[in-house]
Chain A
Amino acid sequence: MRRLASREELEKLREELRGKMEKIERWVAVCSGPGCHVHGSGEVAQAFLKEVEAQGLGDKVKVRATGCHGFCEVGPVAVIFPERYCYTRIRVEDVPRIVSTTLKEGEVVEDLLYVDETTGKKVLRDEDIPYYKFQHRLLLGQHLEIDPEDIGDYIAAGGYSALAKALFDMKPEEIIEEVKAARLRGRGGGGFPAGIKWETTRNAPGDPKYVIVNADEGDPGAYMDRGILEGNPHSVLEGLIIGAIAIGSPQGFVYVRQEYPIAVKNMQRAIDQAREIGLLGENILGSDFSFDVKIHMGAGAFVSGESSALMTAIEGKVGEPRPKYIRTAVKGVWDKPSNLNNVETWANVPLIINNGAKWYTTIGTDNSKGTKIFSLVGKVKNTGLVEVPMGVTLRKIIFDIGGGIRGNKKFKAVQTGGPSGGVIPESLLGIAVDYDELDQVGSMMGSGGMIVMDEDTCMVDVARYYVNFLSDESCGKCVPCREGLRQASRILERICAGKGKEGDIELLEELGSFMRDASLCALGRTAANPVLSTIKYFRGEYEAHILEGKCPAKVCKELISYFIDPARCKACGQCVRVCPVDAISGGKGLVHIIDQDKCVRCGSCFAVCPDKFRAVVKLSGEPVPEVAPGTKIRKKAKGEKKCRK
């Protein structure tokens, strides 16, 4: 493609690209996001390309391997346009049928449609699937139109028009005013107003100024930023260039963890393509504005995502938070004013510039505008990336979009905000999801991780998991965070092992408030959230561990026993065979018995006992009943119902 020397040339290119698209009768978006990829979408996309050629549809049909559509649970998914027919769980063998039936004839392949669990009906179009119906996919929706490796797709879809507008129709101050008026808040954690940060950086003394994308994404289980970088890197790049114009920065950085090779690759390609056609580099679109971007690969430590640690890492040093009380917007990389925003924050910028702050503020709540992407994982039926307007309730996300809890279990809590977020119990599912409401209940928005937990989850164990994660991931520099986490972990391990003491809960609370007040950076200041919020909402569960030696969810190994119910055992012998320590005795026709002294509580017998018997049960906080060796198994009585609760 040629170098664009003016806005008019960009528009001309866009017309040409769109003109080419007009000959296309149908196109298919094969999701190649992280979730679908694991399910084999790579082969599916290849099969589409081959099959379209084989059936001679090469000039009428376009195949795109796109970024994440969101509904990872049922992947690989593909959507066929213009009808928007949506197929789920596609296998390579299904592709020829899809090509000959849908892409060629516009007919539906019925058996590949999504079936709505509640109505039992098949759903034709992606937008009518309940999972998508309640979303507002401002960002993720773009993925369906774009091959992330092709800047042409992005431009044809309207890309870089916001850049042209910012460059030629607006003064830098006006761009900042627009972002301020849109009340865009940072999507990476704190929810700081982006426009105000931009203004601070612009007005701070010192040159050059830097603009930076935070794509460290260190929360376990979260992949919103990865989804965007892989699926629509140009949207982030366009936002970053607009920010650079507003702030007056000649140099940008994308800080991305090296564990995201496809994100790195797609972003690098996006940068190269943009530079090649004059959207980056000297005199962008023929203007007198010059700007370029470098990718910085990080080692993916959780703490490197903290702003000052990230900037230290860009300087080539160990990524540790700085103790200085001076904002990175004023003194950041090499002590120069540096504006850091999250991937998703940047991706919102072109939308705001194109459609205006007035439009943007119609979406969301009073204090939180626009949409937010969550990575919905854990014990929900529908896992994936979910983009909703700020202010929908947690219940809507988990039950209407997520489809509720897997396996007929009961909801227990949802953890939001990443490792230093908090858990939220059922009684608060009605709260609106925005920055302030989540803060108020002791959790936070964080970057958008959302882990759903069912009744089989032990909340002390959950706190222990996060504290141990943070103990390893903290930089270890300051005493409150490092030693506070070390001791919190020891106390929690103790409680989970049934050795908790009276006073442990209060000590944890004291440690938590100390860490919040005294730690150097936000990691330590928020690290006690998982502990404090589980104590706040599930104190009884802590007490049961400490006072009664009981783990109510029957998770903590040292506090449970496995027992074979003599009324249910059918002497099938499967448990005897899997027990690694030969703790189970019993012969043909005899009730099997676990020797509690030998049992190491690995749970193998529990897992292997056939569902129709479910004779192995977990006990906690109660004595294991004695069963006399040689007890005969119970034969099914006449008329006995097979059901159990």
Chain B
Amino acid sequence: MTTDIIAELSARFPPQAVITQHEDLLAYSYDGTPMLQQLPRAAVLVNSREEVAALLALASKHGTPVVTRGSGTGLSGGSVPLEGCIVLCTARMNRVLELDTDNLTIMVEPGVINNEVAMRADAVGLFYPPDPGSMKVSTIGGNVSENSGGLRGLKYGVTRDYVMGLEVVLATGETFFTGNKCVKDVAGYSLKDIFIGSEGTLGVVTKILLKLIPKPAARKTLLAIYERMDEAAATVSAIIAAKIIPCTMEFLDRTTIRCIENYSKVGLPLDCEAILLLESDGHPAAVEEEAKRMEQIAREHGARSISLAKDVEEATKLMTARRMAIPAMARVAPTTILEDATVPRSKLPDMVRFVQKTADKYKLTVGTFGHFGDGNLHPTFLANERNPEEIHRVHQAVTEIFSYAVELGGTISGEHGIGLTKKSFLPGAIGELNVRILGELKRAFDPKGILNPGKIFDQLRSPNDAAARSPAN
């Protein structure tokens, strides 16, 4: 290596953009995932597509790995650095570029926060449905790269369903745009779909064209309280069987309820086993009707009480409180290990019971909540990372839960991605051939393997690439 990459970066970028001080790097050594930490070699706060391209070209030249980072709220270690890597942080690329109210689209830079898009859309009577719990913090770039879901997945789908186009910088520094404002488009492979959920392993997204939809005119939010978990699960099945697709069906168990109430004080009952948060939106008459029927079904299936949020403010409060679930669980235990197993909706009651049984078997405390409407569960183990024996038991429990989810026809991750934490489970979940195809795709886009290498799967490099990449820098 003739010149050092840091020296070249410092020459190319404005003075404060290239960060190498230890104290600064420590703050880029983690994301939202527990127990993962690694110092990068440097971090660069990029400000434009050109800067991203320049950084990647240099990294390619030096064979230095690059880990892209949005807000670092990922829950599978996607933006956790690798030794010797450079963190490319998009936090300053946070401009909303265009809001097109004729074609109902919004074009944003990757560092724009999800909530900003939601608010901009709302201001002009439009709606951006994907609402991950982290919506006030996480970036659109991160959402796209994890294909994030949220509380409205059942009716409105996930991030993928709203991405109409992407600008991507490849590992070489070359830039292209895939997609457009057309609803229909079959010109060539749907490249954008390959980048959605690719966890920063194929390219760096520098612009996102998102679809917006008209804002539903009405919304009703119900809170149903149960003495038994099974009754809540049965309610969900019955609502779907009655051909009602509410926009939200969130489930919270006793442990989760306590943690949330402790922080948010929205008045959740502390003496019940489970609650369902149901929301219907759309045309006022339809919403009225749907809410009524859901209330009736909930009652028939044993709900102890059902209350209707009296206004938008109260409904928002309830949803906001629900979004706090993950961090609120951290109140009761030093380390919260959260999983993301997802099963077909009809198998939910089985899965919830299995989680509890497994926790008991390994003498662990678990809180379970999740998006019941779409079968996405978040069993959260409450443990202490300073107790290796306990952490080992958590891993055993998680392994069993994953196997069971796959057995039921489900998946090991509904929305948090594979990253580092679930990589070892991937072949078991999707099969060796699938993993090999992923690897070949990766090699096609990133032959030197500099983009977030080692995430999702360990990259098999073709023999003639090996020389091109030196681990040092």
Instruction: Decide whether A and B assemble into one complex.
Output: no
Q: Which residues of A contact B (CB under 8 A)?
A: none
